[in-house]
Amino acid sequence: MSHLSSPAIMLRATEHGDYDKIISFFTLNRGKISLIAKGAKKSIKRFAGVLELFSVLNLVWSYGRGRGLPILQEASLIHPFEQIRTDITKTAYASYWCELVYVWMEQGQRQVSVYRLLEHTLVRLNRGSLPEHALHIAFQVRFMSISGFTPGFTHCNICRMPIERFERTSVSFDIRRGGILCEKCAPKKGALPCLSKGTIKLLGSVLNVPLEKLNRFRFSEQAIEESLRMLEAFVPYHLGKETKSLKVLKQLNTGLPH
């Protein structure tokens, strides 16, 4: 019986029979995997206090002789993230990010940049070193870029006019095309989200700087509101559906200042 190991972030867990759980992880070395944790529900000692959502773990698992799921053999905590799980708002953000990774990433597809992005964002969320809205915006923009849907913030998505030559300070963002439109190419009627040039410049910077330098940016209330409105349409459109955790997050943020 061969054993494999990897750092991993726990994405979700479901009950399996009377004693076991099926747990999905996003691993550094193997991408998204689902493992069966034997006796995880029955035994007090086995995996006690370890298998918690969002936690970063060191995993050891093995493949049996049959066609069933790989078996989780060992799990040890690296980052437990207690501050996330004891705060309903932080939990909602972390749940959304993990659900995006779970839904979007294919089984067994190694993607180190996604792993590093998720881990780094969870660390920052747990520490409270950056405003939650700023982390939320940064994660979504960078996740979409890694996944092949980089938002276009520098040129009109149709005629390629540079944003510096746009006449208006309020710029339309085409959700379907995934980029900004100049005043000539934007539809005369419609409900495309609009962003100020300042917000667009900020999002472009967030997209390109190293993760460690995100704390240099300051999001005004206007930038937060515009960015969230755009991303809450852009991400579900290209994902193909609105996730359950995004609906919860919207409910929590209703009436709160952005």
Summarised one tens digit per residue, pLDDT across range 177-195 is: 999 999 999 988 767 899 9
The pTM of this model reads: 0.90
Residues with Cβ < 8 Å from 53, sequence gap 6 or more?
A: 10, 11, 12, 13, 85, 94, 95, 98
pLDDT in tens, 198-249: 999 999 999 988 888 888 888 899 999 999 999 999 999 998 888 888 888 8
* 1-80 topology per CATH: OB fold (Dihydrolipoamide Acetyltransferase, E2P) (2.40.50)
pLDDT at 1: 55
Which class is 83-258 in CATH? Answer: mainly alpha
Q: 8: closest CA among 87, 142, 105, 145?
A: 105
* Average predicted confidence (pLDDT) for the chain: 90
pLDDT in tens, 11-42: 999 988 777 899 999 999 999 999 999 877 66
- In angstroms, rounded to a whole number, what is the distance separating the alpha carbons of residues 247 and 254? 11
Dmax over CA atoms of the chain, in Å, equals 66
> How many other CB atoms sit within 10 Å of the CB of residue 180?
27
Of residues 133 and 9, the one with the higher pLDDT is 9
Domain residue extents for the chain: 1-80, 83-258
pLDDT in tens, 61-87: 998 776 788 999 999 999 999 999 999
pLDDT at 43: 60
pLDDT in tens, 76-130: 999 999 999 999 999 999 999 999 999 999 998 999 999 999 999 999 999 998 8
